[in-house]
Amino acid sequence: MTLTVHRSVCPHDCPDCCGLVVDVDQERVVAVRGDPEHGFTRGVLCPKVSHYERTVHAEGRVLTPLVRVGTKGEGRFAPVSWDEAVAHVVERWRAIVAASGGEAILPVSYAGTMGLIQRNATHALFHKLGASRLDRGICTPAQDAGWKQVMGDTPGPDPEEVVHADLVILWGINALATNLHFLNLVKTARRRGAHVVLIDTWRQPSAAFADQVVLVRPGFDGALALGMLAVLAGEALIDRAFIAEHVDVEGFAALERVARAEHDPARAAERCGVDAATIAELARRYARARAPFIRVGGGPFRAANGAAVLRAMLALPAAVGAWRRRGAGLLASTGTGGAVNLAPFVREDLLPRPTRVISLNQLGHALTALRDPPVQSIYVSHCNPAAVCPDQGAVLRGLARADLFTVVHERFLTDTANYADVVLPAPTMLETADLYRSYGQFWLQRTRPAIAPLGESRSNWDTVRTLARALGFTDEVFQRSADEHIDALVAQPSALRAATDADALAHGVPVRLTPPRDRWLTPTGRIRIAPTDEQPAFVLAAADDVDDETKRRYPLRLHPTPALHRLNSSFSERADLIDKLRAPRPTLRVHPSEAAQRALSDGDTVVAFNELGEARVVLVVTDDVPPGVAVAEGVYSLAEAGGPTVNTLMSKRLTDFGMGSTFSDNRIELRAAT
pLDDT band (50, 70, 90) for residue 227: very high
CB contact at 8 A, 266 and 260: no
Q: What are residue 591's phi and psi, to 5 degrees?
A: -70, 150
d(Cα 662, Cα 544) in Å, to the nearest integer? 11
CB contact at 8 A, 350 and 77: no
DSSP 8-class letter at 570:
B
What pLDDT was estimated at residue 536? Answer: 46
d(Cα 184, Cα 235) in Å, to the nearest integer? 34
Residue ranges with strand state E in 239-350: 292-296, 329-331
pLDDT band (50, 70, 90) for residue 578: confident
d(Cα 285, Cα 412) in Å, to the nearest integer? 50
Residue ranges with strand state E in 525-628: 556-561, 587-590, 605-610, 613-621
Beta bridge partners of 616: 607
CB atoms within 10 A of CB 407: 25
Architecture of domain 548-672: Beta Barrel (2.40)
Closest among 389, 337, 386 to 361, alpha carbons compared: 389
* Overall average pLDDT of the 601-608 stretch: 97
User: Which CATH number applies to 141-331?
Assistant: 3.40.228.10
d(Cα 539, Cα 541) in Å, to the nearest integer? 6
pTM beyond 0.85:
yes
CB contact at 8 A, 405 and 92: yes
Q: What are residue 309's phi and psi, to 5 degrees?
A: -60, -45
* Overall average pLDDT of the 166-187 stretch: 96
Cis peptide before 373 (omega within 30 of 0): yes
CB contact at 8 A, 494 and 488: no
Which of 61-75, 129-143, 296-310, 538-552 shows the lowest per-residue confidence on average (mean pLDDT)?
A: 538-552
Residue spans of the domains in the chain: they are 3-56, 66-136+343-512, 141-331, 548-672
Mean pLDDT of the chain: 94
Amino acid at 433: A
Helix, strand, coil: what percent of the chain each, to 5? Answer: 35, 20, 45
| Tens-digit pLDDT profile for residues 279-300 | 999 999 999 999 999 999 999 9
Cα dist from 294 to 13, 191, 412, whole Å: 21, 18, 38
| Tens-digit pLDDT profile for residues 515-529 | 877 789 999 999 998
Alpha helices in 544-583 (DSSP H): 548-553, 575-580
* Overall average pLDDT of the 225-247 stretch: 97
CATH tag for 66-136+343-512 (out of 3.40.50.620, 3.30.930.10, 3.30.1960.10, 3.40.50.740) = 3.40.50.740
Strand, coil or helix: what is 630? strand
What pLDDT was estimated at residue 640? Answer: 87
Closest among 158, 154, 440 to 291, alpha carbons compared: 158
Closest among 29, 296, 294 to 143, alpha carbons compared: 296
| Tens-digit pLDDT profile for residues 305-340 | 899 999 999 999 999 999 999 999 999 999 999 999
CB contact at 8 A, 39 and 433: no
- pLDDT > 90 fraction of the chain, expressed in percent and rounded: 88
* Overall average pLDDT of the 206-210 stretch: 97
Cα dist from 343 to 87, 349, 485, 493, 498, whole Å: 29, 9, 11, 13, 19
Q: Kindly indicate whether the domain formed by 3-56 is annotated with CATH number 3.30.200.210.
A: yes
Amino acid at 536: P
